[in-house]
Structure 1
Amino acid sequence: MSECPLFKEEMRQFIKNALDEDVGRGDLTTLATIPADLNLSAAMITREPIVIAGMFLAIEVIKTCDPAAQIEIVAGDGLEVMAGSTLLKITGNAQKLLTAERSALNILQHLSGIATLTRAYVRRIEHTDCRLLDTRKTIPGYRKLAKYASRMGGAMNHRMRLDDGVLIKDNHIARVGNIKAAIDAAQAYDIKASTIGLTVECDTLDQAAEAVQAGADRLLLDNMSLDQLCHAVARYKGQVALEASGGVTLDTIGDIADTGVDFISVGRITQSAPAVDIGLDYLD
């Protein structure tokens, strides 16, 4: 199983919040209908082809509700499996497993949805040297988990937080007057911790030229046409890192990668990925 992106206390609090939100003061239906000493066996099964992400959290949800549950991992995070595949087998107390079911599935379905969509994007550019990047477009509170899921799908993580890197965007430039002034100010600040160098968002080729001349390490080429991207690659490839972004879809990412840019960042892999269909089937 892949590394856990959360510290132990972060994971404990995340699971507590998930169960508090779902269970409240108790699972009334289960407590009313299921004998306290009844055991059951179940299997998590995917109804569609997926890339798995979040299995470790689903297991921790189950263990939190039933520490004595016996769990067998059949397929772990990062694996691509077909519809009908068993992911996990569980035997434990029926009341406790029924209470854990929805929270465990919600987490696994959401994170696997991100990993699955990410893998689809990665496949469209795997014939090139271009790498897919995620963004900070995530559900609040899910940042580490969403970016973990995108890694499971094959993307590279971009900035985790604002303190990870300097990215000068149009609003920064508008307030200080021009790109050179923004770069000069950034270079005068302590930016050694920047994981992406000194990056400047450019909407035009003129802005790209200004940013390179002023000392940018990386250009974020935002919503540029394929012709503009090809021009930027011809002029600056190898001189600065080139990242394309803006409205990238599964239909367009291949053509964008073919221009020769180094990176393509896609917000929708974490912002708009649909949850996948995974069920918990109870066995006789």
Structure 2
Amino acid sequence: MKYIAPELSINLLEQEIERNVSAALTEDVGEGDLTAQLVPDNVIATATVISREKAILCGTQWFTRCFAKIDADTEIIWKATDGDIIHPGQTLCEIKGKARSLLTSERAGLNFLQMLSGVASKAWRYTEAVAGTGAKIVDTRKTLPGLRLAQKYAVACGGGCNHRIGLYDAILIKENHILAAGSIAAAMSAAKQVAGAVNRCKFIEIEVETLQELEEALAAGAQMILLDNMTLDQMHEAVAITKGCAVLEASGNVSLETVRSIAETGVDRISVGGLTKNVRAVDLSMRLQE
């Protein structure tokens, strides 16, 4: 695996691949594939996976594990790797094994490969859109349930960056936290105490909606600030006010049409929930050879 953020260790991803694939096969195969039994058990088949569109490939390990768990003797030879740009008509891999096994593994394997390639491709399009500005594209916690680490890996494959993994590894103080705490200053003070009491908090970030709140956050010692739904003019001013003393992250109403202009305000990061929330599967096809 080429694209591993520090928090996405190889061991952690290996455990996640096993968990994801086991769950996928349990829900799909259950007590056994009835349709595959139409094919004699001793028939050996070969197949290829073909791309139907330009995209970023991602999910090869999940795909391979699906076939290996159904039949360890299945052979897969990859012609491309995670993070590669793939093109229409390109052969991505060749597969050989029992026909029954290939037919049973096909859908679960393609589900992972198509979905994760979709996430990686979307991250790639966003990173290409802001190239040269210095701004980083960042994912969020708006992920498909049970597939967070897989999707964050896909974002990294597409050139994006991972935000916090979950509620357990960093603090992001949002509007409701501020309201519950009483003020920005009170929320920041409490956050520092919580972070100091544990050894797993990577950062403290606070969300602001106005330039006045930005000033309050800076006065409270904030070093990472999320600018929520600000206008381009407000973001320009926020960059000028901050003068590099805090990392600024833009969020809200980000699209491929708007992301370049947001990046050009000088913000450091742009978070895009749609990278992992609104996923369009890449068009891939597996075909058995005659």
Which of the five TM-score ranges fits, normalised by the shorter chain? Answer: over 0.9
Q: 1:1-284 maps to which residues of 2 (within 5 A)?
A: 1-2=1-2, 4=10, 6-31=12-37, 33-191=38-196, 193-196=200-203, 198-284=204-290
SS in structure 1 at match of 2:172:
strand
Q: How many positions carry a matched residue from both structures?
A: 282
Query: What whole-Å deviation, never above 9, does each CA across 1:240-273 have from its counterpart, x for those lacking one?
Result: 1111001200000000000000000000000102
C-alpha deviation, 1:28, in angstroms: 1.1
Deviates more, 1:127-136 or 1:22-31: 22-31
- Within 2, Cα distance between the matches of 1:281 and 1:60? 19
SS in structure 1 at match of 2:103:
helix
- Within 1, Cα distance between the matches of 2:134 and 2:256? 17
Read off the aligned partner of 1:195 and give its amino acid letter. Answer: K
RMSD, aligned α-carbons: 1.4
- Within 1, Cα distance between the matches of 2:149 and 2:192? 29
- TM-score, normalising length: structure 1: 0.95
SS in structure 1 at match of 2:168:
helix
- Within 2, Cα distance between the matches of 1:161 and 1:205? 28
Query: What whole-Å deviation, never above 9, does each CA across 1:24-72 have from its counterpart, x for those lacking one?
Result: 22211120x2111101111011111110111011011111112111211
- Within 2, Cα distance between the matches of 1:189 and 1:24? 44
- Say if 1:193 and 1:20 are closer, same or farther in 2 by CA, change over 3 A: closer
- Within 2, Cα distance between the matches of 1:232 and 1:140? 34
Read off the aligned partner of 1:201 and give its amino acid letter. Answer: E
C-alpha deviation, 1:6, in angstroms: 4.0
Read off the aligned partner of 1:51 and give its amino acid letter. Answer: I
- Within 1, Cα distance between the matches of 2:244 and 2:125? 28
State the percentage of identical aligned residues: 42
Alignment correspondent of 2:7: none
